[in-house]
Structure 1
Amino acid sequence: MRILLNECLIDKVKELATLDNGFKFKEDKALYLLNLILCGTNDDDEFEETGWVSLCSNILREIVSKDHNKYLDLFVKHTIISKINYCKQCNKCNQFYLIPHWIDDSKLIEYEITDWNLKKKQKSRIMPSAVKRYKCLWKWFDSDDLTLDVDSALQEIENLHFNQRKVLAIKNGISNFINGNKWFIRHNGDKRLHTNLTNMKSEVRKHLKFKGEPLVNIDINSSQIFFLLVLLDKINKNKTKDITEDIHIISALPPESLDQSEFQRFKKLVLTGTFYEVLGNKLISDLGNCGIYEKCKYNHKTNKANYTLYDKPKSLMKPVAFEVIFSKNNQYTKEKSWFKKEFPTIYSIIEKIKEKKYQKLALLLQNIEATAILDKCIKSINRFDNNIPLFTIHDSIMTTAEYVDIVKNIMEKEIFNYTGFTPSISIEVYQNISLSNVA
């Protein structure tokens, strides 16, 4: 098992290994732990924005050792990382940040992990229950025919001028993939399938090939808004048991809690694919200035407000919608207040679902998405033709060009059968290939 780290960081750990640290210090465990902090975790938006990564003690104990806190305290003492302790009120695990001095992607070394326990735990990231449940996906994911054009991927990353922290995380992801350090995990919480591909940046993913053929991504547009519509529709029809087992969470939401004209407006915007554009335009018109909108985002770690200017409605409305769905009820913004005025009963339902645990709505939507994609679409496509290569990225499915029309049609059919709505689907062609047969 190999990991990528800055040469001076590896040298620093070797230096620490010569000291009396008060516990049995192992270089492999120290570097593996620092690599976790450097690269973040799957789908961690906060890490993407700030470089801070949440790592819970139970996970660290499982992956590294019971001495993980001793390593972390030592790293803090030697100014390798910063740490924010667990916050019960915020429901946040311990958070860590690798000091920028130790990040330089021009001086990378591929370090070989030889510790037997760490290598064994790496293998455990392939979850047998996930492989059994989704063997029709595992056979393609585990195939040697799935390759990555590393040179072209690295060239693209270089051209995009990402910061060094992001570049190093991306390069580690590439290293994991090409060296066979795979993971294939289905979480009990979100029910999603997490793999190297779901953690891979789209800028890298576009350089994947299967048997030398470029892959094409078939994606549900505005998927979280679409699945929110599905949830609201089931509440409206008092049929939530059709899509979720968490009945108790929304049992206090009778159909009459949803205003019908408001719901129909929301439904039309989502199904016509105009939700972001129309509402973004209205938000700019209502609260913007001369076609420009200034949005504030408060960083609770630095206690600083960051301001972003928007002139494109869709670019503005997408983060606003995510703020409404995913943020805590007590984190007030003028955009959330505006949305509440536009859709008061829908906003009330959203708040009710997030009342005790703000992540609950996100998990509900991810559960619905996972069932739709993994248990409905993928299994139906495999029954139709088990020779179609399939790879999932949560709300989208990748395949080769010759199968795009089949996959797209089955996705539309299965999602309609499951939800009662036909989603808007887009096709992302990563490389210069013909899709003349796609409807």
Structure 2
Amino acid sequence: MRLYIPENLDIDQLMYDNPPNFKKYKCKTDKLLYIIHLINALPLMNKDLLYEGYVPLNATMLQSKISNYKEYLDYLLNDLKIIESDGQYFPGYKSKGYRLIEEYKTEIVSVSIREQVFSNTLKVHRNRIKASVTHLDYLTKWFDDKLQIDIDYVNEFLKEEFKLKENNDALRDYDRSRKKFKEPIAQLNHAKISAEKINRGEYYLMHDSNVYRFHSNLTNMRSVVRNAITYDGQKLISIDIKNSQPYLSTILLSRSFWIEQKNEPNQEKSLSISFNEPKSCHNYAFNDINTNKYKGVNEIDDRMNISQIKIHDSDSYIMLGDIDKTLMNKEFSQYINLVVSGTLYEFLEQQFSQCLGETFSNRKEVKTAVFQVLFTDNRFLGQEEAKPKKMFKEMFPYVYEVFRQIKSKDKSLLPRLLQSIESYLMINVIAKRISEEYPDAFICTIHDSISTTEEYVDVVEQIMIEELSKAIGHPPKLAREEWCKSNMVKHLGALKEKARVVA
């Protein structure tokens, strides 16, 4: 394992000038560098941290590798003065955040770990993560020496992009909901680390226990940098689900998805969601909103069911209550039609523009606004910034009510539910089928997309259409995107043109 630290950091000289005074343990240089490395590397796991400035360092995670981590943090903060903290700690919610001081917000370099004992400690942790993907060999087997990246081209690209963004705020990535920019140097280092790891064959593969997504070096990489990647010299093509989260949300508007009986004898029948119990099949008549015909549970169509996916154990049950009554309504058609046609974002952009005066510079900003509508806390509705959310409620009252009910006790449940549905379909159904029918086809899931080579792109797309149509009840809109360096050239060209216009 390599550690990524600021290129201008001379840790040995700093420690010589400001010797540590640890009482019980000798201060190890590698452990100091590891903490600094985490501040640079953790945004690989959570790209939102690129907007935040401060990187939260979990105490439990640190202590598992550095028993006296508090002394190391204090030494870095107060004696060496390399890092600074936001001082904000909320038990069970937020760890203290740390960032490098301005002097060390520079391009990173990689260094090797000197001490074998600490290297072994980190290796144990990596092996624990690696164990989470042993059952996904049909995905992990492709992370080998045939997966290549043109590292020299990437480094030149990143340097040129950084120069353009460094002194021009108008070119920086902006998050409308956070009202924050990404720091160009943090963005450069994030991309550089992810590219170098692939170049070195240092693969990070994990199946998370929250929403069961498959994380890899490719999922953690900036999309524009993926254009420099090939497999066995072949060009790669990604097949994306357009409007993926809204598309997957349409299954939540079907009562057949929620059937999971927990009724005791002589009790009134009610619907509830069980995230841990096996699927039951009582004969229970209900009105399906998409067919408008009465069916028994044993006669349900091939659409997916809540019992097929996993949700974290702590969610346990959600009693449907009023959501069952909401699902009896038929006024989902406009929302579903917009989603299935792949035009929801365009429709909402037009409505937000005409009625609220909201303007968007690109599709990414529209997507951010839609995610605010769907995934923010129900209580956010009363805020001044919630005008798009209020407007969505007025346009799609019954859809809004279903989502409101799901988020009534935990605002994170709706996005986690949708991501779990996505994980199940992309990993357990689609990728698994491809691997069985076309074992020689390179495939890599990147959450709501699958990448493959030109040879197999047609069959992969056809399987995606078949399985998603069957599971969700509506055919998806898919989009292909070739991974090629010309996309990186276009990206830089767009930045240069924008800089010229702004100037």
Name the TM tier (shorter chain): 0.7 to 0.9
* Secondary structure of the structure 2 residue equivalent to 1:363: helix
* Secondary structure of the structure 2 residue equivalent to 1:216: strand
Distance change in 2, residues 1:213/1:365 (3 Å): same
| Cross-structure match for 1:401 | 454
Distance change in 2, residues 1:421/1:82 (3 Å): same
Q: Which one of the candidate residues 363, 372, 376 is aligned to 1:323?
A: 372
Instruction: Find the aligned partners of 1:391 and 1:311 in 2 and give their Cα distance.
Output: 31
C-alpha contact (below 8 Å) 2:20/2:75 kept by paired residues: no
| Cross-structure match for 2:49 | 47
| Cross-structure match for 2:393 | 340
- Higher mean C-alpha displacement, 221-230 vs 6-15: 6-15
Q: Which one of the candidate residues 125, 131, 138 is aligned to 1:136?
A: 138
Distance change in 2, residues 1:193/1:256 (3 Å): same
Please give the per-residue CA displacement for 1:147-166, whole angstroms capped at 9, x wherever unaligned.
Answer: 11111222222333351121
Instruction: Find the aligned partners of 1:202 and 1:339 in 2 and give their Cα distance.
Output: 30
C-alpha contact (below 8 Å) 1:10/1:31 kept by paired residues: no
C-alpha contact (below 8 Å) 2:20/2:27 kept by paired residues: no
Deviation, structure 1 residue 375: 0.3
Instruction: Find the aligned partners of 2:355 and 2:99 in 1 and give their Cα distance.
Output: 39
C-alpha contact (below 8 Å) 2:82/2:104 kept by paired residues: no
Percentage identity across paired residues of the two chains? 27
Instruction: Find the aligned partners of 2:479 and 2:103 in 1 and give their Cα distance.
Output: 42
State yes or no: 1:66 paired with 2:67: yes
* Secondary structure of the structure 2 residue equivalent to 1:134: helix
Deviation, structure 1 residue 315: 4.6
C-alpha contact (below 8 Å) 1:104/1:164 kept by paired residues: yes
Q: Which one of the candidate residues 368, 380, 392 is aligned to 2:421?
A: 368
Q: Specify the code of the residue in structure 2 equivalent to 1:364.
A: L
C-alpha contact (below 8 Å) 1:60/1:68 kept by paired residues: yes
| Cross-structure match for 1:233 | 254
User: Which structure would you say has the larger Rg?
Assistant: 2
Aligned pairs for 1:344-423 (under 5 A) are 344-423=397-476
* Secondary structure of the structure 2 residue equivalent to 1:196: coil
* Secondary structure of the structure 2 residue equivalent to 1:197: coil
Deviation, structure 1 residue 21: 4.2
Please give the per-residue CA displacement for 1:233-268, whole angstroms capped at 9, x wherever unaligned.
Answer: 357774753554557235345432247454111101
Instruction: Find the aligned partners of 2:310 and 2:191 in 1 and give their Cα distance.
Output: 36
Structure 2 unaligned segments of length 5 or more: list them: 166-183, 261-304, 487-503
| Cross-structure match for 2:241 | 220
CA-atom RMSD in angstroms: 2.6
Distance change in 2, residues 1:144/1:384 (3 Å): same
| Cross-structure match for 1:302 | none
| Cross-structure match for 1:304 | none
Distance change in 2, residues 1:321/1:224 (3 Å): same
Instruction: Find the aligned partners of 1:180 and 1:269 in 2 and give their Cα distance.
Output: 43
Distance change in 2, residues 1:232/1:82 (3 Å): same
Q: Specify the code of the residue in structure 1 equivalent to 2:248.
A: F
C-alpha contact (below 8 Å) 2:133/2:207 kept by paired residues: no
Instruction: Find the aligned partners of 1:13 and 1:352 in 2 and give their Cα distance.
Output: 55
Distance change in 2, residues 1:279/1:181 (3 Å): same
Q: TM-score, normalised by structure 1?
A: 0.85
| Cross-structure match for 1:301 | none
Distance change in 2, residues 1:29/1:268 (3 Å): same
Deviation, structure 1 residue 277: 0.2
Distance change in 2, residues 1:336/1:97 (3 Å): farther
- Higher mean C-alpha displacement, 410-419 vs 232-241: 232-241
Structure 1 unaligned segments of length 5 or more: list them: 294-308, 434-439
Please give the per-residue CA displacement for 1:351-385, whole angstroms capped at 9, x wherever unaligned.
Answer: 33223332222211111000000000111001111
Aligned pairs for 1:27-46 (under 5 A) are 27-46=29-48
C-alpha contact (below 8 Å) 2:323/2:401 kept by paired residues: no
Aligned pairs for 1:117-196 (under 5 A) are 117-120=117-120, 121-122=122-123, 124-126=125-127, 127-141=129-143, 143-161=144-162, 162=165, 163-196=184-217
Instruction: Find the aligned partners of 2:360 and 2:101 in 1 and give their Cα distance.
Output: 31
Distance change in 2, residues 1:18/1:430 (3 Å): same
State yes or no: 1:284 paired with 2:353: yes
Deviation, structure 1 residue 185: 0.8
C-alpha contact (below 8 Å) 2:227/2:485 kept by paired residues: no
State yes or no: 1:115 paired with 2:115: yes
* Secondary structure of the structure 2 residue equivalent to 1:249: strand
Distance change in 2, residues 1:33/1:167 (3 Å): same
Distance change in 2, residues 1:254/1:208 (3 Å): same
Q: Specify the code of the residue in structure 2 equivalent to 1:249.
A: I
C-alpha contact (below 8 Å) 1:146/1:211 kept by paired residues: yes
Distance change in 2, residues 1:229/1:174 (3 Å): same
Instruction: Find the aligned partners of 1:129 and 1:231 in 2 and give their Cα distance.
Output: 32
- Higher mean C-alpha displacement, 368-377 vs 353-362: 353-362
Instruction: Find the aligned partners of 2:18 and 2:469 in 1 and give their Cα distance.
Output: 59
Instruction: Find the aligned partners of 1:43 and 1:340 in 2 and give their Cα distance.
Output: 33
| Cross-structure match for 1:310 | 360
Q: Which one of the candidate residues 319, 341, 364 is aligned to 1:272?
A: 341
Instruction: Find the aligned partners of 2:193 and 2:202 in 1 and give their Cα distance.
Output: 10
Distance change in 2, residues 1:180/1:430 (3 Å): closer
C-alpha contact (below 8 Å) 2:4/2:41 kept by paired residues: no
Please give the per-residue CA displacement for 1:65-121, whole angstroms capped at 9, x wherever unaligned.
Answer: 2222222233232252223332248x223322222321111xx43211133354332
Distance change in 2, residues 1:286/1:266 (3 Å): same
Q: Specify the code of the residue in structure 2 equivalent to 1:20.
A: N
Distance change in 2, residues 1:92/1:259 (3 Å): farther
Deviation, structure 1 residue 124: 3.8
C-alpha contact (below 8 Å) 2:6/2:106 kept by paired residues: yes
Q: Specify the code of the residue in structure 2 equivalent to 1:283.
A: F
C-alpha contact (below 8 Å) 1:3/1:110 kept by paired residues: yes
Instruction: Find the aligned partners of 2:485 and 2:7 in 1 and give their Cα distance.
Output: 38
Deviation, structure 1 residue 285: 0.5
Please give the per-residue CA displacement for 1:328-363, whole angstroms capped at 9, x wherever unaligned.
Answer: 333332222222222223223323322333222221
Q: Which one of the candidate residues 84, 95, 100 is aligned to 1:81?
A: 84
C-alpha contact (below 8 Å) 1:310/1:316 kept by paired residues: yes
Please give the per-residue CA displacement for 1:191-229, whole angstroms capped at 9, x wherever unaligned.
Answer: 001111111111221111111112111111111111122
* Secondary structure of the structure 2 residue equivalent to 1:405: helix
* Secondary structure of the structure 2 residue equivalent to 1:111: strand
- Higher mean C-alpha displacement, 410-419 vs 155-164: 155-164
